[in-house]
Amino acid sequence: MNFKITSKSVNDTMEIAQNIESEKFPGMVICLDGELGSGKTVFVKGFAQALGIKDTITSPTFNLVKEYDDGEAKLYHMDVYRLEEHDQSIDFSEYFDGEAISIIEWSDLIADSLPNERLEIKFKIIDENVRVLKIVPYGKKYEDLCEAIL
């Protein structure tokens, strides 16, 4: 089951993230992939805003994981773009097993470490403002989430 949504602006992308946040659950894992500038961090900003997180959301490229715990749920924002290909020093499973929500930018780079159940969103740049988001749920909870909001 795949879903496609067209975002025509930053606000559209943030609204999509806010809609997904409205169906959040403990241990949720969202995987974001797409070119640089495709809207991955914008999505995280929208999701964090809906969670009630007041901190400014920026890409955690140089420290891999940023933790936010001032919202309705704890959020782990990961950006694995600069992770060395064979770096085994990070045990990602500790982030995925718990109550927190994890959002991973460039998740395809750690595909072997991802949980079987997750929500994948691939961003495709169409032009300066337009993006197509291909959303693929893995697991019943994620399928239910997609059916509820898409």
pLDDT value, residue 89: 63
Domain layout of the chain by residue ranges = 3-149
Q: What's the whole-model pTM score? A: 0.94
In the predicted structure, residue 88 carries a pLDDT above the cut 80? no
pLDDT in tens, 106-143: 999 999 889 999 999 999 999 999 999 999 999 999 99
Q: In CATH terms, is domain 3-149 a member of 3.40.50.300?
A: yes
In the predicted structure, residue 3 carries a pLDDT above the cut 60? yes
In the predicted structure, residue 90 carries a pLDDT above the cut 80? no
Q: How far is CA 94 from CA 17, 20, 47, 120, 136, in A?
A: 24, 23, 21, 19, 23
pLDDT value, residue 12: 97
Checking 49-57 for CB contacts under 8 A at 24+ apart, the result is: 49/14, 49/18, 50/17, 50/18, 50/21, 50/22, 51/21, 51/24, 51/75, 51/101
In the predicted structure, residue 85 carries a pLDDT above the cut 80? no
pLDDT in tens, 18-76: 999 999 999 999 999 999 999 999 999 999 999 999 999 988 767 788 999 999 999 99
